Amino acid sequence: MLGGTFDPVHTGHLVAAVNVRHALDLDQVLLVVANHPWQKTGRRITPAADRLAVVEAAVAGTAGVEASAVEIDRGGESYTAETLEELAQPGRDLFLIVGADVAADLHTWRRPDVVARLATLVVVSRGGSPDVDPGPPWRVKHVRIPALEISSSDLRARAGDGRPLDHLVPLAAIACIRERGLYAGAT
């Protein structure tokens, strides 16, 4: 799973998903859309159903990458430990994909011991940045991906000023953003 707020999803997320799936030969990567991202306080978050619809549009046609509503269906605040408990099945190996920024912050999570027990952590490192390794009890793999200087925060700022999101966000996802009137001003 690759969890996120995806407000909005962007090409950096997709490049991470596709490359981790390839590097580790995974069956499937789920982009798990947070219902209520409890660590992102102090700003308005786009409704979860809209963020999910944009992720679904973004992944359509990408083999082995899917949007997941598991956290939205569960409701409330989104904790990865609970999501992994829900995804766990006998014979299924779980991997938790995170960027280096998130890997440095795992100790702030709810029940990190459960997360470490249920999933192998996959840290995607970009460009020449050093590998972040949280150490035991985490089981860690590193996958290097092309550094794409794209963030949802910057995309929201761009949309606010009327600058284009095209190709930073897949075109089908932009069409969905427009249909739903999200990120006012998104071209």
Question: Which stretches of the chain bind ligand ATP, using CB under 6 A?
Answer: 4-7, 12-13, 16, 98-99, 101-102, 124, 126, 148, 150-153
**Smallest distance, ligand ATP to C-beta of residue 76, A:** 18
Nearer to ligand ATP, 84 or 102 (CB): 102
CB of 55 to ligand ATP, least distance (A): 10
Count of beta carbons in the 10 Å neighbourhood of residue 48 = 22
Least distance between ligand ATP and beta carbon 3 (Å): 7
- Tell me the CA distances in angstroms from 170 to 55, 72, 81, 136, 166, one per residue in order: 10, 23, 30, 37, 7
Name the closest residue to ligand ATP (Cβ): 99
Q: Which is nearer to ligand ATP, 91 or 139 (CB)?
A: 139
In the beta sheet, which residues pair with residue 142? 123
Cβ 133 to ligand ATP, closest distance in Å?
A: 15
Q: How far apart are CA 33 and CA 135, in angstroms?
A: 27
Give the Cα separation of 133 and 160 in Å (integer): 36
User: Between 82 and 122, whose beta carbon lies closer to ligand ATP?
Assistant: 122
Residue 117 vs 125, nearer CB to ligand ATP: 125
Write down the least CB distance from residue 121 to ligand ATP, Å: 11
* Residues 6+ away with beta carbon under 8 Å from 121: 95, 96, 98, 103, 106, 134, 138, 139, 140, 141
DSSP code at position 166: B
Region label for 22, one of left (φ > 0), alpha (ψ between -120 and 50) or beta (otherwise): alpha
User: Of the two residues 10 and 82, which places its CB atom closer to ligand ATP in the complex?
Assistant: 10
